[in-house]
Chain A
Amino acid sequence: MPSPAPLLRMRGIVKHFPGVRALDGVDLDVHAGEVHCLLGQNGAGKSTLIKVLSGAHQPDAGEVLLDGRPVRLANPTAAMRAGIATIYQELDLVDGLSVAENIFLGHEHAALGFVRRREANRAAAGLLARLGHPEIHPATEVGRLSPARKQVVSMARALSHNARLIIMDEPSAALAHDEVANLFRVIRELTAQNVAVVYISHRLEEIREIGDRVTVLKDGRTVAVGLPARETPTAEIVSLMTGRDVEYVFPPRPAPADRPEVLRVEGLTLPGRFTGVSFTVGAGEIVGLAGLVGSGRSEIIETIYGARRPSAGRVLLDGRPVRPGSTRHAVRLGMGLAPEERKAQALLLEEPVARNITLAGLSRYARFGWLDRRAELAEANRLAEVLDIRPRDVRRPVKTLSGGNQQKAVLARWLTERGAADGAGGLRLLLLDEPTRGVDVGARAELYAVIRDLADRGIGVLLVSSEVPEVLGLADRVLVIREGRLVHEAPAAELDEHRVLDLVMVAPHGTKEGSGD
Chain B
Amino acid sequence: MTETKARTTARALPGTARLRLGRVGETRHLGLIVALALLAVVGLITRPENFATSDNLVSILALASTIGVITVGMTFVIIGGGIDLSVGAVMALASVWATTLATQSYGPWVMALCAILVGTGAGLVNGILIAYGRLVPFIATLAMLVAARGLAQRISDRKTQLIRPENDAIVELSTTRVLGLPLLVYIFALVVVVGWIVLNRTTFGRRTFAVGGNPEAARLAGIDVRRHTMLLYAISGFCCGVAAILIMARTTTGSSTHGDLYELDAIAAVIIGGTLLTGGRGSIIGSILGLLIFTVITNLFILNGLNTSDQLIAKGLIIVAAVLLQRRGLVGRRA
Chain A contact residues, CB within 8 Å of chain B: 18, 305, 307, 326-328, 330-332, 337, 339, 344-352, 354-355, 359-360, 362-363, 366, 369-371, 373, 376-377, 395, 397, 413
Contacts and interface: CB of A to CB of B under 8 A. Distances in A.
Contacts of A363: 203
Contacts of B79: none
Contact of A362 (B3, B4, B206): B206
A103 B222 CA distance: 41
B interface, size bucket = 20 to 34
B109 interface: no
B220 A339 contact: yes
A353 to B, nearest CB: 10
Contacts of A344: 214, 216-217
B220 A337 contact: yes
B222 A346 contact: no
A18 B3 contact: yes
Contacts of A18: 3-4, 7
Contacts of A347: 214, 217
A369 B221 contact: no
A345 B220 contact: yes
Interface string B18-32: 100110000000000
Nearest to B19: A395
B220 A305 contact: yes
Given A330-B222, A339-B220, A359-B218, A348 B210 contact: yes
Contacts, number: 84
B222 A348 contact: no
B55 interface: no
A106 B206 CA distance: 42
B213 A351 contact: yes
A interface secondary structure, majority: mixed
A345 B220 CA distance: 7
Interface string B202-239: 11101101100110111111111000000000000000
B21 A395 contact: yes
Nearest to B198: A369
A203 to B, nearest CB: 28
B220 A350 contact: no
Given A327-B221, A330-B222, A348-B210, 14 more contacts: A18-B3, A327-B220, A331-B221, A339-B220, A345-B216, A345-B220, A346-B221, A350-B280, A355-B206, A362-B206, A369-B203, A370-B202, A376-B21, A413-B221
30 contacts: A18-B4, A326-B224, A331-B222, A337-B220, A344-B214, A345-B214, A345-B220, A347-B214, A348-B209, A348-B213, A348-B217, A349-B214, A350-B213, A350-B280, A350-B281, A351-B209, A351-B213, A355-B21, A359-B206, A359-B217, A360-B221, A360-B222, A360-B223, A362-B207, A366-B202, A369-B202, A369-B203, A370-B201, A371-B201, A373-B22
B203 A328 contact: no
Interface in B5-42: 7, 18, 21-22
